[in-house]
Structure 1
Amino acid sequence: MLNEQQFLRISIAATVIVAALGVAFGILSGSFSIAFDGVYSLGDAAMTGLALWVSSLIVKSAQTDALSGRVRNRFTMGFWHLEPIVLMLNGSLLMTVAVYALINAIISILNGGHELHYGVAIIYTAATVLVCAVMAVIGARLNRRLKSDFISLDVKAWIMSGGIALALLIAFVIGLAVQPTPVAWIASYVDPVVLALVCLVMIPLPIGTIWKALTEILLIAPVDLKNHVDNVASETVRRLHFLSYRAYVARVGRATQIELYFIVPKGLPPKTVEDWDALRDEIGNAIGDESTNRWLTIAFTADAEWAE
């Protein structure tokens, strides 16, 4: 069974191969859309490599002595915050590349299109569709178990690349078919028109990823998590006759960050540290999702200012 990092390494290798072939076949066939697909894949490979590095840091940060003392001392809060930054950068890059390609496609259409070697183009796009389909299926099946945002985004990228290649393949076959007919002039417009249509489809696709990453970077509290923590804290206040509580929650990448402050009555009979720890364990179990990716702080105070 593959893990997250192993799949990302395989994905990077496959992406680099597809990208290199895309640039080469784009030059040989004279196709801007194939060249764009190659450049797009190179950008995706770079972002996947960055995602692999961040994933490795997050995993190592949970292991004793896996990171040097200097690194651990510089990043005492962990590396979870890097995950949404990478996801937002990835999505923004994909959108930027697609917008740039759309502008070039429109310019090419206005200039009367260009000639294309359809045989070479069809060979490349058919092979690319096959590779993209295989990688997307493997990644989707693997992510049913891992539930990784990085793999999820990578699968989307393979689907997008496969969609581009499939659209190009259909268009190139049509272009090849019309060459010996009275409407052969259409063949000159096939490449830029298909590229423009593909870009129009691709541009909005990363918006969901970018928005999710932005909410995590801005530490916007997820409604479901906030409601769950509020329910647990309210029940604890009611059961133990505390005065109130303050809850601060955020989801940053794969990490869940929760800070709970309980306001207790002044003059409360003293308890041992072990008693307070047992209460923390009880509240933590009620919140659930105990793992290395949960950052949970529970404090008790008689002064409400400490909780603000």
Structure 2
Amino acid sequence: MTAKPRFFDLSDERGVLRTSIAVTLVISSLGIGFGLISGSFSIVFDGVYSLVDASMSLLSLIVVNLITAHTVSKNLSRKVRERFSMGFWHLEPMVLGLNGTLLIGVAVYALVNALSSLLEGGRDLEFGWAVVYAVITLIACAAVAIVEVRANRKIGSEFVRLDVKAWVMSAGITAALLMAFCLGYAVQDTKWQWISPYIDPAVLAFVCLLIIPLPISTVRQALADMFLVTPADLKAHIDTVARAFVEKHGLDSYRAYVARVGRSKEIELYFIVPADAPARTIGEWDALRVEIGDAVGGEGPDRWLTIVFTGDPEWAE
């Protein structure tokens, strides 16, 4: 009997995401709490940023569960399977795109507030509480990022990869905050104390400018998946396989349609059979399909491969 996987199993994509969500919620609570105590908008932003990230991680976990249930297990109800007969792969780029867009939006909003605060003369805060928060959060962010990077070497999940980026971004934000807060603490009761109100909004603006571009590549890839943009590398591979098959078996030509939607590879191959080709049994045609499938490679629950043989080119257009 197979043992039930642990809830926070780091060898499983869902376990990694659950771990990330749990730690993120703790950090978010700390950020909002310490931010209110110290009077630092940059710490409050860090907490809110973490809360948005946790929400997106939870949504990612739901999508992963749906994809896994549809492709591997039989836990989905018959009604759900009938309504989503093509699977749930299309949800993955939607979630990734939404995640990246929200992270960019939160950072842009914080940047506007930081610039506004600078123009208004900055804000005073308790640097002691701020330093304590930054140290705790930096250690937590770095630890989770390292754990996820190691776990994803075997898992190879795009969701986990994006989550690692989010943790690295959070660690970068916190490191910048820590340096700024240490500076602010050091200049207290000195002739440089006048810069202290500007430290919090200035470092927030700097951090926002750094992190805004980071999710752009994820959003771009998500849009490409949603619009079914043909991936050049996969199309080249399929063309090579199809041309070799056509030459080997004396077929007229082929048509290939390829897309990548999240983790899935959707491939449709139509082979044009000569009108005078000898008749074949169903078993022989299926054997040819197996040959093509082996040549294409990547067999698994996330490969959607359709192979059609026809004598009429219009059926392939």
Partner in structure 2 of residue 182 of structure 1:
191
Q: Give the structure 1 partner of residue 129 of structure 2.
A: 120
Query: Deviation per CA, 1:106-142, whole angstroms, max 9, x where unpaired?
Result: 0000000010100000000100000000100000001
**One-letter amino acid matched to 1:202:** I
**DSSP 3-state at the match of 1:299:** strand
Is 1:198 matched with 2:212? no
TM normalised by structure 1 equals: 0.99
Of the three residues 45, 56, 65, the one matched with 1:56 is: 65
3-state secondary structure, aligned to 1:259: strand
Corresponding residue SS for 1:11: helix
Alpha-carbon shift at residue 2 of structure 1 (Å): 2.4
Aligned 8 A contact 2:127 2:185 in 1: yes
Where do 5+ consecutive residues of structure 1 fail to align? none
Q: 2:290 aligns with which of 277, 281, 296?
A: 281
Q: Deviations over 1:228-268 (max 9, x none)?
A: 00000001111111111000011111101100000111132
Query: How much has 1:269 moved relative to structure 2?
Result: 1.1
Further displaced range: 180-189 or 69-78: 180-189
Summarize deviations over 1:33-62 as a string: whole Å, max 9, x none.
000000000000000000000000000002
SS at match of 1:291: coil
- Is structure 2 residue 310 aligned with structure 1 residue 301? yes
Question: Would you say 1:105 and 2:119 are equivalent positions?
Answer: no
Q: Which deviates the most, 85-94 or 260-269?
A: 260-269
Query: Are the counterparts in 1 of residues 97 and 219 from structure 2 also a CA contact under 8 Å?
Result: yes
Which of 9, 12, 20 aligns to 2:21? It is 12
Shift of 1:65: 2.4
Alignment RMSD, CA only? 0.7
The aligned residue for residue 260 of structure 1 is: 269
Aligned to 1:90: 99
Is 2:30 the counterpart of 1:21?
yes
- Is contact 2:255-2:316 (8 Å) kept? yes
Which residue of 137, 140, 143 corresponds with 2:146?
137
Aligned length: 308
How many angstroms apart in 1 are the aligned matches of 2:73 and 2:116? 56
C-alpha offsets along residues 140-175 of structure 1, whole Å, 9 cap, x if unaligned? Answer: 001111110000000110111111011000000001
Match of 1:219 in 2: 228
Q: Secondary structure at the match of 2:307?
A: strand
1:151 to 149, 153, 160: 160
Structure 2: how far apart are the matches of 1:187 and 1:252?
49
2:50 to 41, 49, 55: 41
**1:112 counterpart SS class:** coil
Question: 1:150 and 1:64, CA in 2 relative to 1: closer, same or farther beyond 3 A?
Answer: closer
Alignment partner of 1:271: what SS?
coil
Tell me the secondary structure at the aligned position of residue 146 of structure 2.
Answer: helix
Quote the Cα distance in structure 2 between the aligned partners of 1:64 and 1:30: 50
